[in-house]
Amino acid sequence: MSQNGGTYAGAIALRGGSLTVRHSTIAFNRTYPFDPGNRGTAVAGRSRTSFKNTIVAGNTDGHGPANCNRPMTTHGHNLENARSCGFTRRTDLRGANPRLGALADNGGPTLTHRLLAGSPAIDAGAPPFPPTDQRASHGLRGRRATSGRSSA
């Protein structure tokens, strides 16, 4: 989710239920500054929201940087350029620049943000399932795509 805008949340606004976000990038969204109480451009609401293997970065509101309006549940391997989402697991990266390229056709059915050289998100993801042969796949566990496609 990138380059969206709204008056309550730029990317995700929840008013009930729950949401799990995995293997996603939520970046460069904005909340329009009509309401001085608006905070949480990427994610706003009171619903149960959890993240895994996700980048949340570069979101703004009328007051400055804003990713989440409250701490979210983390299942690890998330990266946030600020500290508003409450990503506190050992595998989460807080206050880190994800070094995202421009929204572009990097292959696949949708536009994506490519991870640029030196991105801390490269090789920081968790595999979606345990490998069947630990010896054969040891060098590939936890890798994110580095060939121009972002798997964050």
Task: With respect to residue 24, please indicate whether it lies within any of the assigned structural domains.
Answer: yes
Task: With respect to residue 118, please indicate whether it lies within any of the assigned structural domains.
Answer: yes
How far apart, in whole angstroms, are the C-alpha atoms of residue 36 and residue 53? 31
Tens place of pLDDT per residue across the chain (152 aa): 899 888 777 788 777 788 899 999 999 998 876 655 555 567 777 778 899 999 999 988 877 778 888 888 999 999 999 998 999 999 999 999 999 999 999 999 999 999 999 999 998 888 765 454 443 333 333 444 333 443 44
Which residues, other chains included, contact 100 with Cβ-Cβ below 8 Å and sequence gap of 6+?
25, 27, 55, 57, 58, 113, 114, 115, 116, 119, 150
Task: With respect to residue 152, please indicate whether it lies within any of the assigned structural domains.
Answer: no
Number of residues that make up the chain: 152
Residue 98 tokens read as: 């994800």
Percentages of the chain per state (helix, strand, coil), in multiples of 5: 5, 30, 65
> 53: alpha, beta or left, given left = phi > 0 and alpha = psi -120 to 50?
left
Report the number of distinct structural domains present in the chain.
1
Nearest to 152 by CA among 49, 78, 27, 54: 54
Nearest to 22 by CA among 145, 138, 149, 127: 127
Domain range enclosing 60: 5-140
Task: With respect to residue 151, please indicate whether it lies within any of the assigned structural domains.
Answer: no
The torsion angles phi and psi of 92, rounded to 5 degrees, stand at -80, 150
- pTM (2 decimals)? 0.78
Instruction: Say what the pLDDT of residue 22 is.
Output: 92
Task: With respect to residue 84, please indicate whether it lies within any of the assigned structural domains.
Answer: yes
**What value does the CA radius of gyration of the chain take, rounded to a whole number of Å?**
16
Task: With respect to residue 145, please indicate whether it lies within any of the assigned structural domains.
Answer: no
